[in-house]
Structure 1
Amino acid sequence: MDWKPHAAALAAKVTHPESAWWGPIRQTPRHVLVERWFTPDAQGWTAFHGPSDEGMWADAAYSDTTLVTRVGPVHADLAALGKPVTGLPTSSSTLPSLVVTMLEHGRLTAGVRLLDLATGSGYSAALACHRLGDGLVTTLDVDPYLTEAAADRLDRIGLHPTVVTADAGSELPGTFDRIVSMVSMPRIPASWLTALAPGGRLVTTITGTGLIITADKTDDGGAAGRVEWDRASFMTTRTSDDYPPGLSGLFTTASTEEGDVSVSPFPVLNVMQAWEVWSMLSLAAPGIEHRTGTGEDGSRMAWMLHPDGSWARARTAPGDRTTTVHQGGPRRLYDVLEAIRWRWLEHGELPVYGARATISPDGTTTFSRGGWTATL
């Protein structure tokens, strides 16, 4: 494949000639790092083999698109072609513009030691190697197949970072000036702060939110920074081959039980499309699983499910603006959402983006802005 014109076009799309990442994107043959990937269809996810159609391979690899490379425990490299796989995506080659955004937040300068968390296909490590040099880049993933495959493919394109198989939440393999995570974390592990050199900087996203956290290490061993104004969402960290099963049993309950009934003045909201609301709700009640749908009569439906057994079902009938809400379990999840939506209307914004982030040495993180605080 004559990949260089494709890589040049990708660089022109996601960055600019004055950027430090212009050269690395042009120099990285992303297609070598992603030979197979999954595409969604009615039956689930079907693996596509790039070398069998170089035109489609080039279009996919050099588009600003996330390519899903693993579903449940099955990697696309090992999936039977033409045989759909069901499950949730568990690894991917993240869209290049977002990779660049995260690396830019890391403020990588000559001589800094980088830990790239969540190796995936190896693309972020490849860009970092072009920027810093192989000897200053360590990349880590929990999945031994991913690290082995990425190391082999990086070697094929002449790049040799240190590749480590380990849990991102456990002890880290060294001391680093920058830690940039391409996987979301429920909270910032104390091990990251231990591994961060004095004056070092960490960049991560928080699970269940669209929040990018940047923070610089402080003298007490913690860190201080902010929630950036731009947004991102990554797959959450995992410690095994797959994520825990979803809340299908609770979904059945939430779809059939009467529960406590109320009427909301607001129409049903697809929470995960409303980034501010979704992020603030996830800080207030972490772990909610959201589902949406359409009723037989065309009504808009939404469900909120929580591992503690709390649930909510909301329905806005065609032509209506109000919503009928059913709730059950130990907490009233929809009431938490309603309070956030009222605050949104009253203030014209929510305080999550731009909030100050203060991280203690044990990883406890407090966000604050305009009198609002939340702690992880």
Structure 2
Amino acid sequence: MDEVLLRTLTPTVIGILVRRGADFAAAEDAVQDALVEAVRVWPDAPPRDPKGWLITTAWRKFLDAARADTSRQQREVRVGGEPQHGQVEAVDDTLQLYFLCAHPSLTPASAVALTLRAVGGLTTRQIAQAYLVPEATMAQRISRAKRTVSNVRFNQPGDLATVLRVLYLVFNEGYSGDVDLAAEAIRLTRQLAAKINHVEVVGLLALMLLHHARRTARTGPDGSLVPLAEQDRDLWDTRLIAEGIDVLQSALARDHLGEFQAQAAIAALHADARTAEETDWVQIVEWYDELLRLTDTPVARLNRAVAVGEADGPRAGLAALAELDPTLPRYTAVAAYLHERDGNPVTAARLYAEAARSASNLPERDHLTRQAARLNVQLRG
């Protein structure tokens, strides 16, 4: 059973059913039923035309459901009879599905879940496991999302920036359960890049590849967080780094800079340094300045303050940090790091402990707690 093939075909089959007259929710349900049937039948009787088999089976599932629902009788008459095997539409509606699942009426969490279900072809159980929530909870979230977009015209132009943000949200969820969401986001972004000629899609793909290349080195054997400067760079995936840099260079050559390209350029400079000491922080600050011209966000400014502290010294970094809102996530942790580099371990220890209390996840909290404890031991000695 080729699960990757099934997941790749899922959005195309949903799109075909929608163009034949099914609403999005009914089409998605029918395709999921067809996928269950494929898992049952294909190991013993693999079809010669998997796509045609899925379309025919999903269409039958849709018609069966329509016949059972008297309110859909008129639609069933309108959409006509059942096509035969081999009558596979050439139009690929995957791109429209991306836009539909990232509809502005959906919350980010719902858009991510619907994208994974409809475009990624994941089951509700897999998505629930990835997000560490009960399957019933995820089923309700997906059902609400499908109802929300059920009346949206399938041929409406979508917002590519929203699609890219949803894919980046998927990527940043990382890994939990039996689905590697970072790898899934890369797969979906590759798919999108093959379907649409847009430089920022390529920029996002480069960013994902470069970040994913460092994944193995980000945690220790005990699951503890390993900061970038302390990572074993021999563990970085040089193949992914090379691909990410090639993809980035192809995007930058088109001379239409976007925020994902700028972020990828920063990631490439980190990846290019053989040691933390060789990092070109001056150029990284310049790329953060470019990023701020494109999207002036508090997170970008916070990260720029760190880069300034490395390029021009900790006091310059603290001056840049002082311009930001102290309630920003990670603000206190950055302040602690810069104060330590400025030779103020008392303030740094206090700030590390304060940052640990407000950390958003356990590995980050444990890391910050260890930093505070390390400085307190040095102060007592």
- What's the TM-score bracket when you normalise by the shorter of the two chains? under 0.3
- The higher-RCO structure (CA 8 Å, 6+ apart) is 1
The structure with the largest helix share of the pair is 2
When normalised by structure 2's length, the TM-score is 0.28
Larger Rg: 2
